[in-house]
Chain A
Amino acid sequence: MSSIKLRAVVALSGLALACAVNAQQAAAPKKAPAPAAKKAASESKDAVTAEFEKFREMMEDASPAELFEAKGEELWKTRRGPKNASLEQCDLGLGPGVLKGAYVQMPRYFADAGQVMDVERRIVHCMVTLQGFKAEDLARQPFSTEAGTPDPVSLVTYVAGQSRGMKIAIPQKHAKEREAYRLGREIFNFRAGAWDFSCASCHGEDGRRIRTQELPNLTSRKDAIRAFQGWPGYRMTGGLMHTLQWRMNDCFRQQRFPEPGYASETIADLLTYMGVNANGYVYKGPGIKR
């Protein structure tokens, strides 16, 4: 535990250094000579991406995400909430308290809730049923801000760390799990709102970019892993720890939709569709995102 913390502190100072380097690059003139506009775009994109990949590789052994894993472990084992209970009896699908491999096998169907749940939805469920927290309180400010990191975020990060290096194997045995996949695919393709966008508008084809940001094609197996890998992630933009619940939320914001409910069935189904597409790939654990 203390060694995890120490490594994370070392990682954070490395991050600060890398951010300083980035800031310096940003200050340098970014405009390229006019005739080579198209070429310059792909080159500058490659340079930024390569720089980030190098940084991520460097950080992989001692990621700032580990700080949140440590915090999550503490939260998991501490008696808390109106019922003064720990989460050690929380069943993430492999039996009460079994964490190894649980993250890479979610979302899955939980008979006790009669629902398909992604990891965050399940942890919230356990915090409500075992510890007596109120779901609406947990949903009030579910995402990390400068003011702090909500407990479920740290808990998800801890649980995810217990599947590091394991193969993604999201189950499709139960009829409800197969239904979640099908409905998730519909949600992914649902065009609405002011700009007629669906998830597929940006994530339905190979090789697409918004500005210089590469967009994974989440309908293809080879790219689907990119939606899973690196989450929960320590995001360099803003320096905050975020989970896939946040990622889905911010995508819907940019889709010009109203806001999806936190830990809702819609998000669980969407994550089922995206997760199952990534089955078979090795999960590297909580990561770092741009």
Chain B
Amino acid sequence: MKTFQASIFGAAALAIAFSAQAGDDSDQAVSMIKRDFHAKGIAGMDRLNEDGLQAMCNRGRNKPPKAVADRLQQDQMQAIKYPADGKFLGDWKSGEGIAQNGRGMTWSDSGTAANGGSCYNCHQIGPNETSFGNIGNSLHHFGKIRGNSPEIQKYTYGKIYNAKAFSLCSNMPRFGHSGTLTEKQIKDLVALLLDPDSPVNK
């Protein structure tokens, strides 16, 4: 964990050095935000402290220098916690509920109820939900197209756990890394996408 943090810190320092020009406005804006915001409910001020990845993506306008990006992406990949039991497929029915649920992590959420994955906000998934967003790509027929091999299961679990391990400045939240979804919830989402019985693959 320590080396992981250290390498993130090193990469961030490197990134900041890369873009000194835009850095002045950026630093000024960040100090202003930290001065003007206040903690509310479960949304603490610590959320404004950029981690290495956020700092990199912010300073590099989501296209950071490749060498640094590769290094950081590797760190994200190594920090993915896969299930200890080696099983990736949960219950697709419960996964559908998690995909539908857009609650969680805002200052108006209590923090006691289970968080949702907000999946339909950005993705087309099951065929029966016609209210879906398009910030992410369509996941309809996700498993039908890719199959259900152990490799695909692991990939899918990892992608939901931390999308940034696959594309550093992806728009998608890091649902496992951020503590938004539990291991069981992520397994249920993997099942929604890969289980041959899931309506996604019908």
Contacts and interface: CB of A to CB of B under 8 A. Distances in A.
Contact of A186 (B29, B44, B121, B178): B29
A212 B133 CA distance: 6
A195 B105 contact: yes
A258 B37 contact: yes
B133 A201 contact: no
B110 interface: no
Interface residues of B, number: 52
A260 interface: yes
A51 interface: no
Given A209-B134, A256-B43, A41 B48 contact: no
B37 A257 contact: yes
Interface in A207-233: 207-213
A239 B199 CA distance: 38
B43 A41 contact: no
B29 A190 contact: yes
B132 A41 contact: yes
A31 interface: yes
A78 B171 CA distance: 49
The binding surface of chain A is classed by DSSP as mixed
A34 B38 CA distance: 46
B28 interface: yes
A260 B106 contact: no
A111 to B, nearest CB: 20
Contact of B54 (A41, A196, A202): A196
Tell which of B30, B121, B131, B199 has the most Cβ of chain A within 10 Å.
B131
A39 B120 CA distance: 16
Nearest to B30: A190
Contacts of A40: 130
Given A187-B32, A195-B173, A256-B106, 18 more contacts: A34-B199, A182-B25, A186-B28, A190-B33, A191-B50, A192-B48, A192-B50, A194-B178, A195-B180, A196-B174, A201-B171, A209-B135, A253-B106, A257-B48, A258-B47, A261-B38, A266-B32, A269-B32
20 contacts: A191-B50, A193-B43, A193-B48, A194-B105, A195-B105, A195-B178, A202-B135, A205-B135, A209-B133, A211-B133, A253-B43, A256-B43, A256-B106, A257-B37, A257-B48, A258-B38, A258-B40, A260-B37, A266-B32, A269-B29
